[in-house]
């Protein structure tokens, strides 16, 4: 008998009908002879609504009470889903994070899972019951309820799959799988039959919202087989696994993009040994999330440093730097907003030189100016004008033949 973890995201449990639909997915797996533990998110936009509600009480809610509030969302779903399963004649029981044995770091808002004590779930499964577990929550060592960060139910599901050594972790969502790029933007974006952990991690970190990056990291570290699939369509989804076997010949597997990027340039800094570390330590200590960094190395006494950030934190970043202007000893700060990041991802790049060059050429052939570049073994990111973003994505999707191939046979 195989054990399967099935995770249902907010849109897949957004209404009573959808909750019944999720129940029928679980029942189907049970009827096929599997044991099932389900992990669920809060219904629809419940978490956003709760965040808004807190905002009507105070502009600065404490993180502890925020976690207490937000975890009620998942608690609604687990009870309703367990009721739906019972109504269909199946034995099921709902469990909050702490009842399920999810132990987290002693922090609020973004806690990591440290351990899952699976005794209770294992007993339930042995008794022939379906376990319905609240995602996104756990208990700290000081007996407080903590959340795992927005989108964290994916992580609960994968962690549970690892702890229970489940055969597979199925992530049910409102899309049919992982696509070459966002199908709302590129009409011919194609669903991938499989993608490797590393590629998925890059895509998730680059903002492809289908899976929480930490969940992918967890799945990679513990070798959890993941499948992203639709809760309403029957078709197979996308397998996330060690090596994406079906299309190894694909150099680029997907494209990710995000708008609202700003480039900041600090001009006329001392060209000393400590300059980079002083600037970026200051930014890090103040929680400024820096993405791409450019510094030209030269022998002059003064230098410039550029980096990119989300436009949303532009004002606070400039304010912070200005406050430390005399200790950092720089001349001035320039910024350029209205930018976007467009990235190509694929593990085939490791063994194929010239992929970046091909990307740059494709963009320059379209008169798209590249403002910044960063690379990893399996990714090339470029920063371009936001008004060129869609054209850049469409061009690259074409150039790297992401929609030209026939869909590969389903797994």
Nearer to Mg ion by Cβ, of 93 and 154: the residue is 154
> CA dihedral defined by 400, 405, 410, 411, rounded to 10 degrees?
-40
Tell me which of 13, 22, 42, 158 binds ligand ASP, using CB under 6 A. Answer: 42
Flag whether 285 is marked binding. Answer: no
- Name the token pair of 239: 């397998």
The interface partner of residue 150, options being ligand ASP, Mg ion, none and the CB cut-off 5 to 8 Å by kind, is ligand ASP
Query: Is residue 373 within 8 Å of residue 386, measured between CB atoms?
Result: no
The interface partner of residue 14, options being Mg ion, ligand ASP, none and the CB cut-off 5 to 8 Å by kind, is none
- Rounded distance between C-alpha atoms, residue 268 and residue 253, angstroms: 40
Q: What is the nearest approach in angstroms of ligand ASP to the Cβ of residue 47?
A: 3
Q: Are strands 226-230 and 238-241 parallel, antiparallel or unpaired?
A: antiparallel
Query: Is residue 409 within 8 Å of residue 372, measured between CB atoms?
Result: no
Within 3-32, the residues that bind ligand ASP by CB under 6 A are 10
**3-state secondary structure at position 125:** helix
Q: Are strands 238-241 and 194-196 parallel, antiparallel or unpaired?
A: parallel
The interface partner of residue 254, options being ligand ASP, Mg ion, none and the CB cut-off 5 to 8 Å by kind, is none
Flag whether 97 is marked binding. Answer: no
Flag whether 9 is marked binding. Answer: yes
Size of the site for ligand ASP (CB under 6 A): 11
How far CA 254 is from CA of 208, 251, 281, 396, in Å, comes to 10, 9, 33, 10
Flag whether 184 is marked binding. Answer: yes
Flag whether 222 is marked binding. Answer: no
Q: Which stretch binds Mg ion (CB under 5 A): 143-151, 177-185, 256-264, 314-322?
A: 143-151
The interface partner of residue 303, options being Mg ion, ligand ASP, none and the CB cut-off 5 to 8 Å by kind, is none
Chain CA centroid to CA 344, Å = 16
Tell me which of 11, 35, 41, 231 binds ligand ASP, using CB under 6 A. Answer: 41
Tell me which of 151, 177, 237, 346 binds Mg ion, using CB under 5 A. Answer: 151
Flag whether 405 is marked binding. Answer: no
φ and ψ at residue 27, rounded to 5 degrees: -60, -40
Give Rg (Cα) of the chain.
23
Query: Could you tell me where the beta strands, DSSP code E, fall in 117-196?
Result: 130-134, 137-139, 145-147, 168-173, 194-196
**3-state secondary structure at position 173:** strand
The interface partner of residue 47, options being ligand ASP, Mg ion, none and the CB cut-off 5 to 8 Å by kind, is ligand ASP
Within 123-162, the residues that bind ligand ASP by CB under 6 A are 135-136, 150-153
Q: What is the nearest approach in angstroms of Mg ion to the Cβ of residue 231?
A: 12
Query: Could you tell me where the beta strands, DSSP code E, fall in 143-299?
Result: 145-147, 168-173, 194-196, 226-230, 238-241, 254-270, 293-295
Flag whether 104 is marked binding. Answer: no
Flag whether 155 is marked binding. Answer: no
Nearer to ligand ASP by Cβ, of 151 and 237: the residue is 151
Query: Is residue 190 within 8 Å of residue 180, measured between CB atoms?
Result: yes
Beginning with the edge strand found earlier in the chain, give each strand of the sheet holding 113-116 in spatial order.
Answer: 113-116, 102-104, 137-139, 145-147
Nearer to ligand ASP by Cβ, of 18 and 190: the residue is 18
Within 47-76, the residues that bind ligand ASP by CB under 6 A are 47, 73
- Name the token pair of 108: 């609020």
Kindly state whether residue 213 participates in binding Mg ion, applying the rule CB under 5 A: no
Q: What is the nearest approach in angstroms of ligand ASP to the Cβ of residue 134?
A: 10
- Rounded distance between C-alpha atoms, residue 409 and residue 411, angstroms: 7
Q: Which stretch binds Mg ion (CB under 5 A): 2-10, 191-199, 378-386, 400-408?
A: 2-10
- Name the token pair of 35: 């044991």
Nearer to ligand ASP by Cβ, of 135 and 237: the residue is 135
Nearer to ligand ASP by Cβ, of 135 and 193: the residue is 135
Flag whether 10 is marked binding. Answer: yes
Within 3-62, the residues that bind Mg ion by CB under 5 A are 9
Q: Which chain residues interact with ligand ASP by CB under 6 A?
A: 10, 41-42, 47, 73, 135-136, 150-153
Residues annotated in a binding site for ATP: 7-10, 173-174, 184
Q: Which chain residues interact with Mg ion by CB under 5 A?
A: 9, 151
Residues annotated in a binding site for substrate: 47, 74
Residues annotated in a binding site: 7-10, 47, 74, 173-174, 184
């Amino acid at each position: 008998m195989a054990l399967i973890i099935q995770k249902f995201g907010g849109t897949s449990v957004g209404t009573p009908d959808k909750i019944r639909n999720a129940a029928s997915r679980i029942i189907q797996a049970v009827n096929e002879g599997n044991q099932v533990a389900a992990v669920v998110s809060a219904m629809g936009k419940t978490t956003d609504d709760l965040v808004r509600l807190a905002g009507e009480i105070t502009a600065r809610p404490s993180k502890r009470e925020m976690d207490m509030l937000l975890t009620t969302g998942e608690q609604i779903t687990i009870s309703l889903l367990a009721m739906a399963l019972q109504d269909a004649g199946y034995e099921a029981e709902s469990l909050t994070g702490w009842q399920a044995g999810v132990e987290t770091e002693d922090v609020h808002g973004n806690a990591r899972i440290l351990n899952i004590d699976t005794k209770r779930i294992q007993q339930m499964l042995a008794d022939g019951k379906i376990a319905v577990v609240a995602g996104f929550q756990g208990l700290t060592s000081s007996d407080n309820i903590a959340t795992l960060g927005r989108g964290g139910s994916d992580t609960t599901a994968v962690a549970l799959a690892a702890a229970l050594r489940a055969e597979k972790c199925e992530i049910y969502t409102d899309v049919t799988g992982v696509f070459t790029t966002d199908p709302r933007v590129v009409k011919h974006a194609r669903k991938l039959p499989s993608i490797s952990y590393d590629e998925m991690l890059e895509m998730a970190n680059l903002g492809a919202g289908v899976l929480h990056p930490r969940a992918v990291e967890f799945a990679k570290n513990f070798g959890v087989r993941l499948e992203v699939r639709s809760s309403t369509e029957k078709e197979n989804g996308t397998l996330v696994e060690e090596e994406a076997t079906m299309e190894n010949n694909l150099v680029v597997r997907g494209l990710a993009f995000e708008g609202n990027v700003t480039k900041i340039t600090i001009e006329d800094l001392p060209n000393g040994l400590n300059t980079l570390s002083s600037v970026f330590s200051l930014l890090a200590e103040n929680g400024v999330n820096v993405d791409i960094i450019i510094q030209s190395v030269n022998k002059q006494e003064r230098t410039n440093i550029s980096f990119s950030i989300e436009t949303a934190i532009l004002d606070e970043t400039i304010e912070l730097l200005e406050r430390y202007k005399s200790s950092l000893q720089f001349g001035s700060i320039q910024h350029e907003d209205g930018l976007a990041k467009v990235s190509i991802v694929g593990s085939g790049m490791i063994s194929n030189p010239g992929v970046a060059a091909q990307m740059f050429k494709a963009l320059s052939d379209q008169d798209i100016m590249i403002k910044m570049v960063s690379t990893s073994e399996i990714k090339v990111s470029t920063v371009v004008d936001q008004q060129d973003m869609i054209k850049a994505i469409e061009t690259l999707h074409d150039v790297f033949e992401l929609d030209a191939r026939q869909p590969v046979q389903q797994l």
